[in-house]
Structure 1
Amino acid sequence: MKRAVGLLVLLVLMLPAQVSIQNVAAQEIPRPKDLVVASIWGPETVDPAWCYDTASAEVIQNIYDTLIRFAVNRSLPPEKQGLTDKFEPCLATEWVIAAPPHPDAPPYTNSTYYFKIREGVKWHDSKYGTVKPSDVEYSFERWMVLDRSGGPTWMIYEPLLEAHGADWSDPEWPEKIDHAVESNATHVWFNLKAPNYPPMIFMQILAQSWASVMPNEWAYEHGCWPGEAHPEENPYTNETMTKYYDPEVSPLDDWPPGTGGRIECGSGPYKLAVLDSIEHIWKIERFPDYWKGWPAPGCEGYLETVTFYGIDEWGTRKTMFLAGDADFCYVPRAHLPELVTNWEEKPSWEEEEYPAGIRCFPGLPTLIESNLFFNFKIETAGNKYIGDPPYDELHESGIPSWFFSDVNVRKAFAYAFDYDTYIKDVFLGEAKQPATPHVEGLAYDKYIWDVGKSDLNPPDTVLPPPYDQPLLPNGSGPLPPVPKYYHDLEKAENYFKAAYDGELWEKGFTFSILYNTGNEARETAARMLKEAVESLNPKFHINVIEVDWPTYLNELVAKRLTLFIIGWLADYPDPHNWYYPYMYSEGTFAYFQSYGDPEVDELVLQGVRETDDNKRIEIYWKLGNKYFEDVPSVPLYQDAGRHWERTWVAGWYYNPIYPGPYFYHLWKGWYTPTPTAPLKIKASILHGSSIRLSSEFFNPATKKPASGFIVFVQKSLDNKTWTNVGALITDKDGRVDISITPPLGTTYYRLNFTGYKAPTPVSDELTGTVLLNAKYYEKWIEKAQRNLLSQIVSPVKVETKILEDILSSALSPIREDVDALSDKVTSLTSEVEKLQGTISSQSNMLYASIGIAIIAIIIALVAIVKK
């Protein structure tokens, strides 16, 4: 048989090789200019001065422009491209930071920042012309005037006026706002009162949604503070400003008044088309006159529209995502096994596999923490979450407004929660429990708590030195890590019994915990806490209620939430942006909790003013320990992020500060992946012979041939690095067929269907079988738009040999047959000789046996005769 195989190989190698590759479906990109997002709802506002939630900021950052933007480094992997410490021009073309005070600045000014404003930037409504420096000044001053409760205004007040909100008791306050931001025909400048205010923090504030710019005249016409555009309204008086201070709702979220209509007039890359809080849909459309042009510099394409669907039910979102009806999808962590196809193998992030057409970026480092917050002074008026009255005493059917003011109650709840089980079950281990609001990724994190290390045992005990913590920059220390709470129901019970001198344990309580609809992680946390606490005492009752996100935020601001779960995304990556909202009495969370401590307030302010790293570390270490002692809130988790998208989406990158994607940098297309499938076809030919590559491509949507498309013939010596050696144009049948003469040795070939239509017209003589110049079509593709998804067919391994090698290779099996036959003959001869010896030996034994038998018979006969 081997001989026959050898001769067959010889015959085949003498002939040219014909390689036919199976028909390939050239996938069509769904909605090639439109992107669909499926997530949970949703935006509270479209007013930059009001916005302080990620869902709203995601919309605003795409329809408005800011003075500067965070820079992007496209040479890095997508998960690292977004930078938080470098900036690029936007409405400002250049700037000077932390300069000496402007000559006309108020005497208390410590530094001035100057920004030159870009000319010719159009507003979405052409009626208002182009962006002027006075519009920039107006936008920041309006932000300070509005100063809505729970809003972001503290961030601009802190550097400009060394305050955290408007002080209308100061008769000079309007004048201070006026002089904080100034402009002329070309520039805008900011006069900072705060001494030694970190320039990086100020620039990071200016790069985000709340610092967006709108036209003064448009805002005034739609119910906003008049500003300098209307001096007849006396804009810089206490009386006028207070009319527009902290309204119930922004006029931009209710226009015309009473209708709930959302309006905008930005200069950003997209315009708001729809925002429907009932149907849970928002949509933005491309602004053709965007000053940067289309597509964005460095991008291959752009999106005409982005549509966001707020879908609370995971099963519906999953179906849309898998079917290609959604391009981005929010995937709760607990459902990872449904989309990681090799989940049971416990793969690393690099080894994960996903359904065809789906891509995930796992392990994204976040600057987000979710916490359990306690309300020290609950608003009882109109409150549906505190059970039955009376609200000034302890009883089983409700709670008093001061229920959480006893530290024993807060510690009891802190010990009741099972952090490890929560992180394991809800986040499948992709999260950690911080000790304080000082999350991993912030400056000095490793000095404050044992980041990334095992917990202390027990975690709430400060162990004696030596500590496994780093020395401070000056060589002193180390500081003991800040302790944290852990699951211990016995401790929880003891603290409940100690609360209010035992009266709480005796009488019990009833209240409700809210979570925003669709947020499975918060719902699970609430239900786990309910189960744990209720297991301790039959008189303890907790209800878990879902509400939509805007309602949740409204109840938070109204101080009607009891114990609430919410997260914090860094406004800028500095510890001050965490200790201020969590612990300063006027901070975002602390204010709505009615938590305050003068000692804590002073430490928080010292932290942002201090320039010595060693002293800052000690300040934040003290704050961390105070946080543990007072328990105003408890960290639940800081998770590793994931981004899910369909593989036809291009351009996405990660910035841990962004509230969502910047859609101007996205488009739909395809990248050329390295084939992972094993070689399906091998061919060996005589050097100088040719190999033919052929394939047919068709459009799966129309079921018709994909004719007139560019197909590259690619060559590789290692099956890794590929070079275009020529281009083909598919014929009217979607077919290409080409003969290639490979060089001596081993070479790999493949066909790359690009998805790009060839320049028209293309004559029939040039389609299908004519190898064209690859460089020409590479240049064409750089400027063209893709029509179908790219497809790479399985590569072919081709071995070419000279005739002597082929003959030697072909005859080798025959020589092996002859050698094997000779060995068998020799072996057979030996066996015959052995057999002959055996026969001879056995014959002698037979003769001896016969002789013995005859003798035995004679003896027996003699014996018989004698008897």
Structure 2
Amino acid sequence: MKAKGAITLLVVFLVVFSVVASGCISGSENTTTSTAETPTQSSPTTSTQAETGTSTQSGSQTSALGGPGIIEMDKVYVIVTDKSVIVVGPKGEKPTVELPEGKKVITVSYVVDEANTPDVKTLMEKGQGFGAINPAFFRDEHVDALVVAARRETDPTIRTELFKALYILGNKFVPEVILGQNIQLRVYWDWVKGRYYHPTLAERYDLLTEDPNAPVVKIGIKDYTNDPETYVIATAGWPESFDPAMTYETFGWQIWHEIGDTLVTYWKEETEEVSPDLAVAWAHNEDGTEWYFLIRGGVNAYDPWNDKTYPIDATDVAFTFLRVERLGHSVSWMVSSFMDVNASQALTEEEFDQYLKEHPLIAEYRGKTAEIKSLDDLKKFFGYDGPTAGVFKLVLPQPYTPVLGILSDPFLSVVPMEYLLGDKYEEALKASDNGHNPGAWWNYLSEGKSDPTHQLMHNYPVGTGPFYVKDYQKDAYIVLEYNQHYWNATANPGHERVIYIINSDPMARINLYKTGTADAVAIPPEKMDTVKGLELKGFKSIVQTDIVEPVLTFLVFNTQREPFNDPKVREALAYAVPYEQIAKVVYQELLARNWGPIPKPWPGYTEEGITKYDYNLAKAKQLLNEAGVDPTKYKIELIYNEGNAAREKIMTLLQNVWSQLGFQVTVNSYNWPTYLDKTEHGEYDVYIVGWVPDYLDSDNWVGPFLYGATEFESVEVSVS
């Protein structure tokens, strides 16, 4: 090999290793060049010392290192990207890294906080899969340190290199097998106007319209009719909960994007910058650890169950954030990881204005930046002159670049404290000193589904958004009605109501669509031909397949169960997946290949230094043999959510293939809420799921896919 793309590492034992980077290893190769390769005069080198240290790693995870782009040096990982070398390990070790000119070294050293690192089994019992810990319950301290380092880093070029390292490690350790990156399938009648796409938020149905000549059809549910003022969606599944603090899946978030409001939001197809919602203006301190949000005045939450309204102010915002963490659902990880709800508080406008006199803040919006020294400064900067309802101070333990994206997520829709606490409201308000001490509210809430406020919101949701839940019957239908109490209500919304018709049979849904009973329909890709070319009363069926989504579909191993606790077994099974057949037969080519936990083209996606797993049963058998695993001794249950025909087909294919390896394989399905509950508690062997990003940052893929909930006393990043 030429010196370009090669590095040499001199470690304590003076053993020299080299690894090929810059795209030299591709396809299904799974080897590391082990010949000693010293730099020549034509490839000048520099060297640096990466201070790390000692630690104890689980042998099953570290023994698999040595693949493309990775070198294990005793208790230190070295990951090679096209632009840098990332060295990660406990503080104390000092390996010397020699590399070609122009290749930077990024060193991540850490000290684990053993006392505060939760036990993986405990996280399972609490149902924290895909929350506080990744869905595979995979833990590796080096990987966790890289995740934390990337979260705290503010330099985008350094963050990108750390993300590349995590992509490479995710590809090697395979806690999840990435089946591919989704291409969106949207089926709807062309009488629907104004459709748009956003990677994290559903469309707002009050912003869509219909041709006034669209058909009028009775839908067969009570006296509801699909007319030009009603948007009907034929779909499958059921929201995990109507409580935003207890739902962490697309359906629940879709509902809350219609019936709730967050502090900030993305307007339609915006992805670069958020827009005001319940917050009309915001500013932060110099290091980004304190954010202040000026709350919109005149906002009311509407309670349709009792025909009552509740005014919203900064105290409700503080309560909403603390409540998400207190209930402790898996979704709460985004609050507990990046925010300090106890240190956050509600302020009056006067208190905030007084604070600004001695503590100027920084406001950034629409490409402009200003120093803010008064409340009037902030309002003028954002061009707002309407009523306000206090200021919410949000404290972060560490600066986090994409925090505003998190605040746009529907699970942080602001809920009325008075509605949820009832006759305890005044007492709780006084205990917290009107929101100055939100920690007092922990005594008025409890963890999990037994919490009374959850039981209330789960059954009788109340929000501030453009719609409200008017009627529903579990697993049958949900009816949303336009909210005349909405702060931005109009006399002529795009739709007066939205109706979700729930049916697990795709052909039944297609029949609803063909007759015009539904305006849009969710169907498996293999049914596309049944809805192409349809016409109804002069209108045409639209089958849209031109949007490549930042959505990954993947298998999840339970790495706390044998034999999936061995990374070599996971690699073997990654080679026992018929990727091309799945893409062609199951998804009708609506699945693009991807090999790690970041979608293309987000920062960190790379095809260099990775294994491009293909379907190779011989390789799978070889790796199982190397792992010393006898497949005939293991039973594997493959599970999927019922009603999802594509996932059923995938699991049936895998049952056939993995049975050929000798495993005893069964396939089972569960309804969506049960499915989520089982997977969050680690009650599975292998399951299949898709990941729609919570917010638009690469950390929202590598963190949820890889972070093992290790706590650290320190994580330090240095660059040389």
Q: Same fold (TM over 0.5)?
A: yes
Q: Which residue of 1 aligns with 2:274?
A: 87
Q: Provide the rounded CA distance (Å) in 2 between the counterparts of 1:225 and 1:44.
A: 31
1:274 to 460, 464, 471: 471
Superposition deviation, residue 577 in structure 1: 0.8
Distance (Å, rounded) in 2 between the aligned partners of 1:29 and 1:55: 26
Match of 1:181 among 324, 345, 349: 345
Matched, 1:116 2:294: yes
In the alignment, does 2:669 pair up with 1:546?
Answer: yes
User: Is 1:519–2:637 an aligned residue pair?
Assistant: no
CA distance in 2, matches of 1:27, 1:403: 56
| Correspondence for 1:863 | none
The CA deviation string for residues 420-440 of structure 1, in whole angstroms up to 9 with x for no partner, is 111111122222121101111
- Alignment correspondent of 2:502: 310
The residue type paired with residue 57 of structure 1 is W
Structure 2 counterpart SS, 1:43: coil
Pairing of 1:402-413 with structure 2 (within 5 A): 402-413=562-573
User: CA 1:312/1:194 → structure 2, altered by over 3 Å: closer, same or farther?
Assistant: same
Say if 1:339 and 1:355, in contact at 8 Å, map to a contact too. Answer: no
Aligned to 1:717: none
Percentage of matched positions with identical amino acids: 23
Residues 112, 498 of structure 1: CA spacing in aligned structure 2 closer, same or farther, 3 A cutoff?
same
Residue in structure 1 matched with residue 420 of structure 2 by the alignment: 219
Asked if the contact 1:253–1:263 (Cα under 8 Å) also holds between the matched residues in 2, the reply is no
Aligned match for 1:574, one of 692, 697, 718: 697
Q: 1:52 is matched by which residue type in structure 2? A: Y
For residues 493-524 of structure 1, the C-alpha deviation after alignment (integer angstroms, 9 at most, x for no partner) is 2223333x34x24x432232111111122111
For 1:559 and 1:543, the matched residues in 2 are separated by 18
Contact 2:532 2:543 in 1 (8 A): no
**Map of 1:491 onto structure 2:** 619
Runs of 4+ in 1 over 6 A off after TM superposition: 222-226, 232-240, 352-355
For the structure 1 residues 289 and 559, does the alpha-carbon distance in structure 2 shift closer, same or farther, using more than 3 Å as the test? same
Question: Is the contact made by 2:557 and 2:687 (CA closer than 8 Å) also made in structure 1?
Answer: yes
Shift of 1:254: 3.1
Q: Is the 8 A contact 1:46 1:252 kept in 2?
A: no
Q: Distance in 1 between matches of 2:661 and 2:453?
A: 49
Measure the CA separation in 1 of the matches of 2:547 and 2:423: 41
What does residue 361 of structure 1 align with? 544
Matches within 5 A, 1:548-697: 548-586=671-709
* Alpha-carbon distance between aligned partners in 2 of 1:531 and 1:355, rounded to the nearest angstrom: 46
Aligned residue number for residue 244 of structure 1: 445
Q: Deviations over 1:122-156 (max 9, x none)?
A: 220364532112111111122222222x22x2222
Q: Deviations over 1:403-458 (max 9, x none)?
A: 3112232122111111011111112222212110111132243xx22xxxxxxxxx
Deviations 1:807-859 (A, max 9, x none): xxxxxxxxxxxxxxxxxxxxxxxxxxxxxxxxxxxxxxxxxxxxxxxxxxxxx
Q: Does 1:99 align with 2:300?
A: no
**Cα distance between partner residues in 2 of 1:68 and 1:549:** 29
Aligned to 2:593: 433
Select the structure with the greater relative contact order (CA < 8 A; seq sep ≥ 6): 2
**Greater strand proportion:** 2
Unmatched 5+ stretches in structure 2: 1-211, 218-226, 350-388
Distance of aligned partners of 1:179 and 1:42 in 2 relative to their CA distance in 1, 3 Å threshold: same
Q: Matched residues in 1 for 2:498 and 2:674: separation?
A: 25
Give the Cα–Cα distance (whole angstroms) in 2 for the partners of residues 234 and 336 of structure 1: 53
Q: Which one has a larger percent helix, Structure 1 or Structure 2?
A: 1
Give the drift of 1:231. 5.1
| Superposed CA offset, 1:390-412 (max 9, x none) | xxxxxxxxxxx433112232122
Give distance in 2, aligned partners of 1:179 and 1:407. 41
3-state SS of the aligned residue for 1:405?
Answer: coil
Question: What letter corresponds to residue 275 of structure 2 in structure 1?
Answer: E
Which AA in structure 2 matches 1:117? I
Instruction: Give a deviation string over 1:313-368, Cα, whole Å, max 9, x none.
Output: 111111110110011100211112222349xxxxxxxxx99995322332112111
Name the aligned partner's letter for residue 213 of structure 1.
V
Structure 1 counterpart of 2:324: 143
Contact 2:243 2:454 in 1 (8 A): yes
* Alpha-carbon shift at residue 246 of structure 1 (Å): 3.0
Aligned counterparts of 1:353 and 1:34: Cα–Cα separation in 2: 17
The aligned residue for residue 312 of structure 2 is: 131
Change (3 A) 1:412 1:134: same
Picking from 556, 580, 602, the partner of 1:442 is: 602
Q: Indicate if the aligned counterparts of 2:421 and 2:453 stay in contact, CA closer than 8 A.
A: no
Mapped contact 2:319–2:438 kept (Cα < 8 A): no
1:32 deviation in Å? Answer: 2.4
CA distance in 1: counterparts of 2:705 and 2:536, whole angstroms: 39
**In the TM superposition, what whole-angstrom CA distance separates every residue of 1:639-698 from its partner, at most 9, and x where no partner exists?**
xxxxxxxxxxxxxxxxxxxxxxxxxxxxxxxxxxxxxxxxxxxxxxxxxxxxxxxxxxxx
Separation in 1, partners of 2:214, 2:308? 44
Counterpart check, 1:203 vs 2:404 = yes
Match of 1:59 among 255, 259, 265: 255
- C-alpha separation between the residues in 1 aligned to 2:302 and 2:673? 27
Residue 56 of structure 1 aligns with an amino acid whose one-letter code is G
Using the TM superposition, give the Cα deviation of residue 159 of structure 1 relative to its aligned residue in structure 2, in angstroms: 3.0
Over the residues paired in the alignment, what is the CA RMSD in angstroms? 3.4
- Secondary structure of 1:188 counterpart: strand
How has the CA–CA distance of structure 1 residues 41 and 355 changed in structure 2, closer, same or farther, with 3 Å as cutoff? farther
Instruction: Please state how far the C-alpha of 1:53 moved relative to its aligned partner.
Output: 0.7
Distance in 1 between residues matched to 2:396 and 2:578, nearest whole Å: 46
Following TM superposition, by how much is the alpha carbon of 1:252 offset from its aligned partner in structure 2, in angstroms?
5.0
Q: Which amino acid aligns with 1:483?
A: T
Match of 2:559 in 1: 376
**Pairing of 1:334-345 with structure 2 (within 5 A):** 334-341=526-533
Match of 2:483 among 261, 264, 287: 287
| 1:227 CA displacement | 4.7
- Aligned position for 2:235: 39
Work out whether residues 342 and 439 of structure 2, in 8 Å CA contact, stay in contact via their aligned partners in 1.
no
- The aligned residue for residue 654 of structure 2 is 529
Taking the aligned partners of 1:197 and 1:241, their CA distance within structure 2 comes to 25
Question: Which residue of the partner structure matches residue 520 of structure 2?
Answer: 328
CA distance in 2, matches of 1:204, 1:357: 36
Q: Given that residues 572 and 621 in structure 2 are in contact (C-alpha distance below 8 angstroms), is that contact kept between their aligned partners in structure 1?
A: yes
Change (3 A) 1:128 1:183: farther
Secondary structure of the 2:271 match is strand
Residues 1:112 and 1:27: Cα distance change in structure 2 (over 3 Å) = closer
Pick closer, same or farther for the CA change 1:494–1:355 going to 2, 3 Å.
farther
Q: 1:116 to 1:47 in 2, by over 3 A?
A: same
C-alpha distance in 2 between matches for 1:27 and 1:132: 41
The total of aligned residue pairs comes to 458
Contact 2:564–2:570 under 8 Å retained in 1: yes
Per the alignment, in what secondary structure is the counterpart of residue 545 of structure 2? strand
- Corresponding residue number in structure 1 for 2:166: none
- How far apart in 2 are the matches of 1:292 and 1:187? 19
Letter in 2 for 1:116: L
For the Cα contact (< 8 Å) 1:262–1:275, is it kept in 2?
no
The one-letter code sitting in structure 1 at the alignment partner of 2:278 is L
Asked if the contact 1:512–1:544 (Cα under 8 Å) also holds between the matched residues in 2, the reply is: yes
Larger Rg: 1
Q: Alpha-carbon deviation of 1:100?
A: 3.9
SS at match of 2:320: helix
Code of the residue aligned with 2:315 in structure 1: it is S
